[in-house]
Structure formats: structure tokens, C-alpha cells
């Protein structure tokens, strides 16, 4: 174990965001480097006139109908060209997009309208179920009406927010309601507890006039079509069912098309004549019409939208492959008949739909964690109004409402207990496995479960301000953000489509030049176009990121962006602040050494004196006495001696509790207890002396209480090959003692608060990838300096907003959990990218007929199956991340017996 003291000189401290007095569960992203991936610079977007702006806001909106991973480029390209939009990160897996924009130029309502202009569906801001009513499908950029019904099934619900205030300032995390600008009165005007007005983030219940019914009259053009907007308002499960139906139609009709084709006649020996005396190619044309204009229409519509947005995606490839074969066959049929391959076009469409159906099912599994979060909020709440209990939708609960929470029910919104007490299960929100005791004045979290007693809770945060909505927003933004590797993969996917189109054309021309017929050459060309799979590249990292962030969210580990997830995989050194991170930040009794008196009797006497004192050390002694069953006694004639201790009469005996100076002033001889006191103080404990009736009776040692999982956390980090460094302002003796107990490798002791970032920088200069774990204001510069800043959830706002990763449970064991999730996610990302690149490298020349001399030739149908299978395998491989083995306190890898607690001296009294 290495021990260092005062590493100097300090380096310049990087700036970190200022913060107001409000303390929410989680707060803002830091933007210390505007050029880093996922961040937003201060420049205006393409349509913004190039003016500088600092008041950027960020929101997560729904984008329904993103069938393909590469289709997100359509939304991104279109929105980036709109005035006021600074950055867009769409996610086909989550069906959402994170948009950063200038509220002075545009609004959430306009952004939603632009998404619909792309041909996709958007109901506005994505928030948990039962929190807000969704936007009406037919609304444009203003004057948005409420939907008549709110669908509470799976998938995201969207708030009916129309003001820019529904999004959050770029310099503040979307989960921080206090950072919302003043000009969004339309959203927050109702936060005052006035029953007649809606509160923040909510619209009034959908009962007033002006609602548009969900039906033919109120549907958008996209809703009326069997594509794009066809999936408007659908959950991922509904989209999967729709894709299944399209496949089944295509598969059934393709059987008939194939039977009345040359393949059916020659290969399968099918001899039944075509109905009504029609030619085989005519009946094949008729049977193919539903396949092309229903099942495969999503390909043509998607290709049109992609080309309109000046991008290339998977839809373009499939549309060209299917359309070319089918149109060629139609031309031959209409000009008198001949060699046609309707069966190639329809079977190709069927296989693509089959693969995409399986792929979407896998993508839905990747998004399971966020969907679980979205569905946690209860649909109704019991509100006490005018002395009566009324059941109202959760979306109508207002700030200041008094809620009745019965045993076994979910708490609908955040608040504090005004009456009653109970045990509350917060595991689904914070990851804390044990129920938390709630008494009058305790804070409660919406969506947590009341287990035992009945409580009355005053609502303090509702709608988009609740902890659940904030967590959802953070996880969604992390899932939508792009890791550095994904940005390269997205560019590669675009060019891969281009290469496929050029390659298909060159293949067609080459085979024609070599003397092959038009049909054979066309089949080779179509096969090249079809087998290319940019979707595998597009899905390679988003699916892994979705599963990784979801896995973390279930354990209370919240990554703020994909870059943090990727960086966490490369960490080799973890620096931990001691107080509040490795320790609880409160003293506890570690040793009681007695002289001539029974321990139970002594504890009862000392507790009687200390319960009259307000000193934190006194509270620790009283707590220890109660825990050890000491009888409760009453003290009289209590006298506090500032800086020295206290005394009182207990059971007729004079009891003194304090430091050596108090004992000397009272003329008390410490005897052998003097040596005991010195030995305990030398190890960093705070030693309190006790005298009874003028005689030294005991030494009680106290120290900062270590968290129960501190030692298991260090053990788990060591197992992962990560060095653990403890950073503390304590003296070297105290630091060495706690480091020895927990098995910490290196101690940097006697560090001034302002020098923490300098010490982190010096570790980085030796080539280490450093993660800093802290919770205090003085930790914020070090969190910003580190490669990965990890904030304890119970810490200060500044520490949380400066960090890249937040631990909701304030549990050190979540540090190795987070790093293991990062490593597992990066491993899956690399595996997926390797497969995607390798598949295309082999598939393209094979499809082009390069190996035809060896008898290796692929048909378009097999190519389609291979292409779809590639995407499916990438998604399934990412889902295997759910099987990642994470450290737990009860497992051998993370079990260390904590023998004692003394860490930091609390100072003599």
C-alpha cells in the first residue's frame, strides 16, 4: 500500500457549472468541452443564422415508425436543417430523438411538426405513462389539442407540452425543473395549489370541447397510409405485430406466386393451370399486388422519405431490389409475356419482412428497461379534498395536494409525509433492495410502493418534475446519445448503401458484358443490393447501449451519455473521496474500554448525560447505547462545558464525559486509561473519556462510519484489475488505518479541498485512465478533471451535475457494477461491429458472383434472408448483455468482513 501526502503543485482547476440552491434527485449535464460527442456547441444551427446562443434547451421527443436503424438519418438530416435546431440524435431502437434547440427560434411543438413532416409520427415530449396526456396527432406547430383518449399500454407516453419550457435548458439536465426558463408560464403556471388549474407538465383532463376524435376524420395523412405514420401512436409491441401481419400476407401470397412461376413448374413440378385461363405471369402479377402495395409499401415509402431528406438507408436498398425485379416483370407481362421473376420480388420482400420482424422483437427486448420505467407510475391517485377522499387520474394531481397512500399501493408523485409512517419499497426507482422507513417529514418518491402503514403525503413534485420523469429523461438521453464508434458506424452505413447501389449496377453491367442474359445479370445485381446490410452497422452500438444503460438503470446506475458508458470500460484507476463516499459522514462508536464498571451500566450512565447534548458525537454514543440494550436513565443538573465535554447527575452519581482537558480540570487521574486513550487517538479515532464519581471509568472511541459495502466494492474493483486510490484531507495515520481495513492500494492524504483535481491530473499524467468518485462541492473540480466522473446520488447538486455517471443508491458497490456494465457493453459493441463489417466484406463479393466459378451463387431470396439474419444476430447478441454477472454483497467476489468502522477523527470536544 502506497501512502502519499499533499501531491503538489496544484494544476489549474477546470470550471464547473454553477448551481442554484435547489436540490433535486439528479441535475444537469456538464458541458465542459463543447466539442465532445453528445455535447452542443454555442453556434446556431444551419437555419439559425449563425448567431451565437447560450440558452439552448434539450428535449426527448417520440419518433414513431423508425423501422430501420439507418432510418434515423432521415429525422436527423431534416431536423438539423431547421432554424434553431442545434443537434439531433435519433434512436430507432427506442423510437425517440434527443433534440437540442434555441427556444428563441423554435419550440417543442414546431419540432414535433417537423418530425411529422418527415413522414414519422410524433406526439411530443416522451414522459412516463399516466403523467401527461399526449398531443393530438393532427396538431401542427401551435394550438395543439388534447387527445380524447390516452393510451396507457406499453411504450412511451408523450406530454402535451407545447411551450419551449417543456424542454430543459442545455446547461441544465432535463430533470431539473428549477432550471426551466421563466417564459414557459403555460407549463408551470399551475404549480400553485389551486384546484381549478392544471399543474406543471399536465394538461387538463381531456373532457373539454375541441378534442379531435381518434378516427378517420382526425387522422393525419400518415395515419391514412399503410406506412410510416401507420405506426402512429403504436407501441413497439404493436409495431412488431404489424410487421408480423405484413410478413404473413407476403409469405402466403408468395407461395402462389412461386407455384405459378418457372421455378414452381420446373423445380417443384407444379402442373395446375392458372385460374380463369390466364397466363402464369398474369396470375403472378395479380397475386403480387398486395405484397407490393401493402406488405412491401413501407420500403418504398421509407426510400422516398430518405431520398427526400438527401440520405441513403436500408429502405432505399430494399425498395430498389424489390422494385426493380417487380417493375421489370410487369413490363415483360404487359408487352406480351416472357421471362419474369415475380417470385424473386415477393419472396425477397417476405424474407426481409421476416428478418425485420425478428429484429424488431429483439430491439423491443433491448428497450425493456426504459419501458418498465415508463410504466411504473400508477394510473390513479387518492386525493383528500375538502375532507373527502377522491380518486383522480395521476395526471390531475397538483402540487400541494394531500394524498392518501394505503398499504400495498403505489405512491403516485413525489412528496413528503405529513401523517403516518410506513416502510416504502423504492427498489424500482433507486435500486435500493431494502424497504426504507418513512416518518412524518420524510421525502417519498413517486412510483415507489407503500408496504405496511397508511400515510398522508403532500405532493411536492408532479408531472415532468417527478424523480421518475427525471430518471426516464436521463436514461433516454443516454440511450439516444452516440458513442464515438457509433458516429463512425453511421457514416460507414451511409457509404455502404452507396457502395451497394454502385456495386449492383457494376455487377449487372459486368455480367451483361460477359454474355449473361438480362435476367441473370439482373438477378446478380439485385442480389448485391439486397445482401448489403448497413442496418447491422446501424444497430451494432445502439442496441448494446440500450441494454447497457437499461441494465444500469435497474441497479440505480445512471449513465448520462454513451461516451460515459464507453469510457467506463477503459478505466484502470478509481479514485474515491473518503468522507461521504467510502464512509457515511457520521460518527459511530468503535471501541469501549472500561475500568471497574460493567459495560451496560456505563453505557446507560453516559447515554443519560449525552442525550442532553446536541453534539454529533453525543448522538453517536446515545445511539450505540440504545443498540446495545442499555436501560434509559434520566440525568439532572446537566452542565455543558464548551470545547471540553459535559457532566450531570445520574442515579445519584456524578458522571463526566469529555476530553482530557475536562478530566484534568476536575482533578481526575486517568491511570491506565490514559495510555488506552493515546493509542486510540493515534489510529485516527476520537477518544472520549468517562468519569464516574471522580474516578476514570472508560474510554469510548468513535470514528466516521464506513459504508457496509465499501470493502466489497474495493474487492470487486481489485478482481477487475482496477487500482483503488483513496483521496482524503485526513492525517496520514487515519488514512493508513482505513486503507488497511478496506484493502485500498494507494492513499493520497492531507489533501486540501482545492487540490483534489490536481491530484487526479497527476495520476492521468502517468498514463492512467482515472474515474473519480465523490459527493461534495469540493469534489466537483476533480469529477470534471477525471476521465469519468462518478457522483454519489445523495451528494450535492454541483457534484452530480459535473459527473458523467450518477449512483442513485449512494452505494460504493455500484462503482464496480458501473464499470463492469461499461466493459460488457463495449465488448458487445465491438463484437457487433466486427460481425457487421465482416459480414459485408464477405457477402458483397459472394453476391456479385465472384465465386461463381466454384459453384457458389446466391439467389436474391437467400441474400435477403442473410441480410435480415445479420441484423437479427446483432440485436440478439446485444440482448445477451442482460446475462452479465454483476457483483453483489452476498457473492464471494464481493464479500469482505468489515471488522471495525474507525476512519476519520471527528475532532476532540
Asked if 548 and 881 touch (Cβ cutoff 8 Å), the reply is yes
Calpha distance 870→240 (Å, rounded): 18
Calpha distance 230→224 (Å, rounded): 7
What average pLDDT does range 89-98 have in this prediction? 80
Which residues are CB-neighbours of 784 under 8 A, at least 6 positions away? Answer: 14, 15, 16, 30, 32, 757, 802
Answer whether residue 485 shows pLDDT above 70. no
**Between 566 and 473, the higher pLDDT residue:** 566
Calpha distance 369→376 (Å, rounded): 11
Calpha distance 751→132 (Å, rounded): 49
Which pLDDT belongs to residue 263? 74
Calpha distance 551→475 (Å, rounded): 11
Asked if 98 and 478 touch (Cβ cutoff 8 Å), the reply is no
Which residue has 452530480 as its cell numbers?
Answer: 800
CA 784 → CA 115, 170, 200, 770, distances in Å?
35, 17, 32, 11
Answer whether residue 151 shows pLDDT above 90. no
Answer whether residue 893 shows pLDDT above 80. no
Which residues are CB-neighbours of 605 under 8 A, at least 6 positions away? Answer: 633, 650, 651, 653, 655, 690, 692
61 φ, ψ (degrees, to nearest 5) = -115, 155
Among the listed residues 36, 21, 38, the one whose alpha carbon sits nearest the alpha carbon of residue 474: 38
CA 397 → CA 162, 200, 513, distances in Å?
20, 10, 73
Q: What is the distance between the terminal CA atoms of the chain, rounded to a whole angstrom?
A: 32
C-alpha grid cell, residue 532 = 448489403
Under the banding of pLDDT at 50, 70 and 90, the label for residue 357 is confident
Which pLDDT belongs to residue 369? 60
What average pLDDT does range 42-58 have in this prediction? 51
Q: Mean pLDDT of all residues in the chain?
A: 74
**What pairs with residue 391 in β-bridges?**
382
438 φ, ψ (degrees, to nearest 5) = -120, 130
What average pLDDT does range 430-450 have in this prediction? 82
Calpha distance 843→863 (Å, rounded): 8
Q: How many residues does the chain have?
A: 909
Q: Which range (59-63, 749-753, 855-859, 877-881) has the least confidence?
A: 749-753
Asked if 440 and 421 touch (Cβ cutoff 8 Å), the reply is yes
Answer whether residue 722 shows pLDDT above 60. yes
Parallel, antiparallel or unpaired: strands 402-405 and 380-385: antiparallel
Which residues are CB-neighbours of 130 under 8 A, at least 6 positions away? Answer: 150, 152, 157, 377, 378, 379, 393, 394, 395
Asked if 57 and 164 touch (Cβ cutoff 8 Å), the reply is yes
Calpha distance 776→799 (Å, rounded): 6
Which pLDDT belongs to residue 25? 39
Which pLDDT belongs to residue 125? 66
Which pLDDT belongs to residue 283? 93
Under the banding of pLDDT at 50, 70 and 90, the label for residue 299 is confident
Answer whether residue 1 shows pLDDT above 70. no
Answer whether residue 198 shows pLDDT above 60. no
Q: In what order do the strands lie in the sheet with 723-727?
A: 2-5, 746-749, 723-727, 573-577, 770-774, 788-792, 805-807, 557-559
Answer whether residue 717 shows pLDDT above 90. yes
Which pLDDT belongs to residue 351? 79
What average pLDDT does range 760-784 have in this prediction? 85
Under the banding of pLDDT at 50, 70 and 90, the label for residue 867 is confident
| Residue 420 CB neighbours (<10 A) | 16
Parallel, antiparallel or unpaired: strands 422-425 and 436-438: antiparallel
Strands, DSSP E only, in 432-542?
A: 436-438, 443-444, 449-450, 455-461
Give CB contacts under 8 A, 24+ apart, made by 760-765.
Answer: 760/575, 760/727, 760/785, 760/786, 761/11, 761/785, 762/7, 762/11, 763/573, 763/575, 763/725
Catalytic residues: 577
What angle (nearest 5°) sits at the alpha carbon of residue 777, between those of residues 748 and 710?
50
Strands, DSSP E only, in 730-852?
A: 746-749, 770-774, 788-792, 805-807
C-alpha grid cell, residue 373 = 420505467
Amino acid at each position: 500500500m502506497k501512502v502519499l501526502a499533499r501531491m503538489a503543485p496544484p494544476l489549474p482547476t477546470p470550471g464547473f457549472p454553477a448551481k442554484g440552491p435547489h436540490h433535486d434527485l439528479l441535475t444537469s449535464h456538464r458541458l465542459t468541452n463543447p466539442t465532445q460527442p453528445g455535447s452542443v456547441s454555442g453556434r446556431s444551427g444551419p437555419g439559425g443564422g449563425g448567431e451565437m446562443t447560450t440558452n439552448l434547451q434539450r428535449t426527448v421527443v417520440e419518433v414513431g415508425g423508425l423501422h430501420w436503424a439507418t432510418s434515423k438519418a432521415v429525422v436527423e438530416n431534416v431536423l438539423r436543417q431547421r432554424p434553431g435546431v442545434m443537434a439531433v440524435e435519433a434512436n430507432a431502437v427506442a423510437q425517440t430523438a434527443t433534440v437540442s434547440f434555441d427556444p428563441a427560434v423554435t419550440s417543442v411543438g414546431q419540432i414535433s411538426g417537423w418530425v411529422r413532416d418527415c413522414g414519422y409520427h410524433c406526439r411530443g415530449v416522451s414522459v412516463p405513462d399516466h403523467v401527461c396526456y399526449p398531443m393530438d396527432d393532427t396538431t401542427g406547430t401551435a394550438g395543439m389539442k388534447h387527445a380524447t383518449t390516452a393510451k396507457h399500454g406499453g411504450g412511451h407516453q408523450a406530454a402535451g407540452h407545447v411551450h419551449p419550457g417543456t424542454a430543459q435548458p442545455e446547461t441544465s439536465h432535463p430533470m431539473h425543473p428549477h432550471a426551466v426558463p421563466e417564459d414557459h408560464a403555460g407549463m408551470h403556471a399551475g404549480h400553485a395549489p389551486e384546484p381549478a388549474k392544471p399543474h406543471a407538465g399536465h394538461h387538463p383532463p381531456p373532457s373539454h370541447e375541441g378534442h379531435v376524435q381518434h378516427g378517420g376524420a382526425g387522422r393525419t395523412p400518415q395515419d391514412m397510409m399503410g406506412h410510416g405514420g401507420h405506426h402512429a401512436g403504436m407501441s413497439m409491441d404493436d409495431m412488431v405485430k404489424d410487421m408480423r401481419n405484413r410478413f404473413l400476407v407476403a409469405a402466403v401470397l408468395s407461395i402462389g406466386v412461386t407455384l405459378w412461376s418457372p421455378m414452381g413448374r420446373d423445380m417443384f413440378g407444379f402442373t395446375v393451370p392458372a385460374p380463369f385461363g390466364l397466363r402464369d405471369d398474369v396470375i403472378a402479377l395479380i397475386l403480387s399486388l398486395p405484397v407490393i402495395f401493402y406488405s412491401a409499401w413501407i420500403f418504398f415509402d421509407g426510400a422516398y422519405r430518405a431520398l427526400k431528406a438527401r440520405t441513403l438507408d436500408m429502405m432505399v436498398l430494399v425498395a430498389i431490389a424489390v422494385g426493380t425485379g417487380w417493375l421489370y416483370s410487369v413490363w415483360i407481362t404487359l408487352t406480351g409475356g416472357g421471362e419474369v421473376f415475380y417470385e424473386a420480388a415477393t419472396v425477397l420482400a417476405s424474407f426481409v419482412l421476416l428478418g425485420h420482424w425478428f429484429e424488431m422483437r429483439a430491439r423491443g427486448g433491448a428497450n425493456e428497461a426504459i419501458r418498465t420505467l415508463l410504466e411504473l407510475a400508477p394510473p390513479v391517485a387518492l386525493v383528500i379534498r375538502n375532507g373527502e377522499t377522491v380518486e383522480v387520474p395521476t395526471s390531475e394531481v397538483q402540487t400541494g395536494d394531500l394524498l392518501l397512500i394505503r398499504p400495498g399501493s403505489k405512491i403516485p408523485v413525489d412528496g413528503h409525509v405529513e401523517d403516518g409512517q410506513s416502510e416504502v419499497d423504492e427498489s424500482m426507482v433507486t435500486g435500493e433492495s431494502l424497504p426504507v422507513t418513512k416518518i412524518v417529514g420524510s421525502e417519498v418518491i413517486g412510483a415507489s410502493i407503500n408496504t405496511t402503514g397508511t400515510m398522508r403525503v403532500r405532493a411536492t413534485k408532479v408531472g415532468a418534475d417527478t424523480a421518475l420523469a427525471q430518471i426516464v429523461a436521463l436514461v433516454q438521453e443516454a440511450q439516444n446519445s452516440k458513442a464515438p464508434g457509433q458516429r463512425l458506424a453511421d457514416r460507414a452505413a451511409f457509404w455502404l448503401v452507396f457502395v451497394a447501389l454502385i456495386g449492383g449496377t457494376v455487377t449487372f453491367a459486368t455480367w451483361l458484358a460477359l454474355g449473361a442474359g438480362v435476367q441473370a445479370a439482373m438477378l446478380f445485381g439485385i442480389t448485391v443490393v439486397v445482401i448489403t446490410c448497413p442496418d447491422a452497422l446501424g444497430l451494432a452500438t445502439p442496441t448494446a447501449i440500450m441494454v447497457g444503460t437499461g441494465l444500469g438503470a435497474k441497479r440505480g446506475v445512471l449513465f448520462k451519455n454513451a461516451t460515459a458508458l464507453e469510457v467506463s470500460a477503459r478505466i484502470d484507476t478509481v479514485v474515491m473521496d473518503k468522507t461521504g463516499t467510502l464512509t457515511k459522514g457520521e460518527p459511530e462508536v468503535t471501541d469501549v474500554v472500561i475500568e471497574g464498571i460493567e459495560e451496560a451500566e456505563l453505557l446507560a450512565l453516559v447515554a443519560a448525560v449525552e442525550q442532553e447534548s446536541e453534539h454529533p458525537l453525543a448522538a453517536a454514543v446515545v445511539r450505540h447505547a440504545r443498540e446495545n440494550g442499555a436501560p434509559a436513565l434520566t440525568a439532572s443538573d446537566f452542565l455543558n462545558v464548551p470545547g471540553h465535554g459535559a457532566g450531570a447527575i445520574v442515579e445519584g452519581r456524578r458522571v463526566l464525559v469529555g476530553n482530557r482537558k475536562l478530566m484534568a480540570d476536575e482533578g481526575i487521574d486517568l491511570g491506565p486509561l490514559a495510555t488506552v486513550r493515546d493509542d486510540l487517538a493515534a489510529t485516527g479515532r476520537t477518544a472520549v473519556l468517562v468519569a464516574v464519581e471522580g474516578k476514570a471509568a472508560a474510554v469510548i472511541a468513535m470514528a466516521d462510519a464506513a459504508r457496509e459495502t465499501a470493502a466489497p466494492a474495493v474487492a470487486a474493483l481489485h478482481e477487475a484489475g482496477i487500482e483503488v486510490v483513496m483521496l482524503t484531507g485526513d492525517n496520514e495515520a487515519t488514512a493508513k488505518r482505513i486503507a488497511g481495513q478496506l484493502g485500498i492500494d494507494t492513499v493520497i492524504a492531507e489533501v486540501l479541498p482545492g487540490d483534489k483535481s490536481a491530484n487526479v491530473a497527476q495520476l492521468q499524467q502517468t498514463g492512467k485512465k482515472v474515474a473519480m468518485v465523490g459527493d461534495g462541492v469540493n469534489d466537483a473540480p476533480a469529477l470534471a478533471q477525471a476521465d469519468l466522473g462518478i457522483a454519489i446520488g445523495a451528494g450535492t447538486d454541483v457534484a452530480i451535475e459535473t459527473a458523467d455517471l450518477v449512483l442513485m443508491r449512494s452505494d460504493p458497490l455500484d462503482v464496480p457494477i458501473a464499470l463492469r456494465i461499461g466493459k460488457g457493453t463495449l465488448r458487445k459493441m465491438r463484437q457487433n461491429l466486427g460481425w457487421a463489417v465482416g459480414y459485408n466484406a464477405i457477402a458483397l463479393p459472394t453476391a456479385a458472383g465472384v465465386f461463381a466459378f466454384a459453384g457458389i451463387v446466391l439467389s436474391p431470396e437467400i441474400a435477403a434472408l442473410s441480410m435480415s439474419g445479420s441484423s437479427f444476430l446483432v440485436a440478439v447478441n446485444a440482448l445477451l448483455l442482460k446475462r452479465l454477472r454483476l457483483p453483489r454483497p452476498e457473492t464471494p467476489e464481493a464479500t469482505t468482513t468489515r471488522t471495525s468502522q474507525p476512519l476519520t477523527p471527528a475532532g476532540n470536544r
